[in-house]
Amino acid sequence: MCDYLLAKGMTLVGVDNLLTGSRQNIAHLASNPAFEFVEQDVTEPVDVGPIDYVLHMASPASPKDYLEYPIETLEVGSTGTRQMLEVAQRYGAKFLLTSTSECYGDPLVHPQTESYWGNVNPVGPRSCYDESKRFAEAMTMAYHRSRGVKTSIARIFNTYGPRMKLNDGRVVPAFVDQALRGEPITIFGDGSQTRSFCYVSDLIDGLVRLLVSGEAYPTNIGNPSEMTISQFADAIVALTGSKGGVVYHALPEDDPKQRKPDISKARRLLGWEPKVGLDEGLRVTVEYFRGLPPTGAPVRTATT
Ligand code: UDP
């Protein structure tokens, strides 16, 4: 997102406490005068001076990460969202919340339209993420309705691409890492659960279109091309030539059985739809991961 906006001539301030992120991902921007980085938790008051847009994207996003940091995840969705909305209100800036398809929980409506209210377990292990984002949406709508803040809400579906963490636990880096090391691919459950994977450049295009739109209600941004996790494992094997096979592990509690965005609204309102197919997106992603040090090795950062 930073690369995209800087290329458009914008000036940015990035705020991140790097709880799950990596400074390495912005190392190439360190000498760019149009980019400033503040290492800070957005649950603390932030003042970055007058700005035109607030993109509130802060949160752990991998199930492995938010299960490790459940309270931080709830805090960033609640207090963090409020702090960012305060910044937007103070400067009359447009606010974008990156919410999630997890708002639909284990959905009983398929594909998921924005009008579906979801099937979320409010006390299960994933609730720290799901309810945090649902609260964030409610807080955003409250600032919009009662304080007139210009806001938009994107519900992001599984996104992938370069600069993900190799060991963040999500299915794309996990399968690519295992395949590249010739280890068995770990399918959770029987692999019949579905996901729909969106390449990062498509996501960014959709988010920016939504940011400059006048739409306040949630809008799905994702790729409707749906597949089972077994099919996804096959795609990774075909791309990497892995001979490691697959191994089956228990399905995590409350793991959604199916997920596919209905993107009619984004098509109609934003003129947006994904352009990058899975083959092309995965090829670039695998190339990126091939260049990384193996799991467990320290990742070099700008400061070390
Ligand atoms: N998954 C898997 N093996 C892994 C990691 C994930 O089979 O090593 C499955 C997981 O159970 C889920 C899907 O892949 O059904 C997507 O998981 P991910 O953690 O990427 O994101 P989610 O969509 O669950 O938020």
Residue-wise pLDDT tens digits, 36-49: 999 999 999 988 89
Active-site residue, 129 included: yes
User: Which superfamily is assigned to 2-161+198-224+260-275 in CATH?
Assistant: NAD(P)-binding Rossmann-like Domain (3.40.50.720)
Give yes or no for residue 187 CB within 6 A of ligand 1.
yes
Reference 277, options 163, 222, 198; nearest CA is: 198
**Residue 218 beta carbon below 6 angstroms from any ligand 1 atom:** no
| 65-113 confidence digits (pLDDT tens) | 999 999 999 999 999 999 999 999 999 999 999 999 999 999 999 999 9
Which of the following is catalytic: 129, 143, 160, 199? 129
What pLDDT is attached to residue 293?
A: 59
What is d(CA 240, CA 225) in angstroms, rounded to the nearest whole number?
A: 21
The reported pLDDT for the residue numbered 295 is 55
b/e per residue, 149-185, with b = 16+ CB within 10 A? Answer: bbbbbbbbbbbbbbebbbebebbbbbbbbbbbeeeeb
How many other C-beta atoms are found inside a 10 Å radius of the C-beta of residue 190?
A: 11
Q: State phi, psi for 83 to the nearest 5 degrees.
A: -60, -45
- State how far the Cα of 273 lies from the Cα of 140, in Å rounded to an integer: 25
pTM of the model as a whole = 0.95
Using CA positions, which residue lies closest to atom 4 of ligand 1?
171
254 lines ligand 1 (CB under 6 A): no
Q: Which residues of 45-67 are buried (b: 16+ CB within 10 A; e: fewer)?
A: ebeeeebebbbbbbbbbbbbbbb
pLDDT number for residue 47: 86
Report how far ligand 1's centroid is from the alpha carbon of 301 (Å). Answer: 28
At 15 the pLDDT is 97
Mean pLDDT of successive 10-residue segments in the chain (304 residues)? 97 97 95 97 93 98 96 98 98 98 98 98 98 98 98 98 93 97 97 98 98 98 98 97 97 97 98 97 95 53 33
Query: 215: how many CB neighbours lie within 10 A of its CB?
Result: 16
pLDDT of residue 151: 98
Query: Ligand 1, atom 16: nearest CA belongs to which residue?
Result: 171
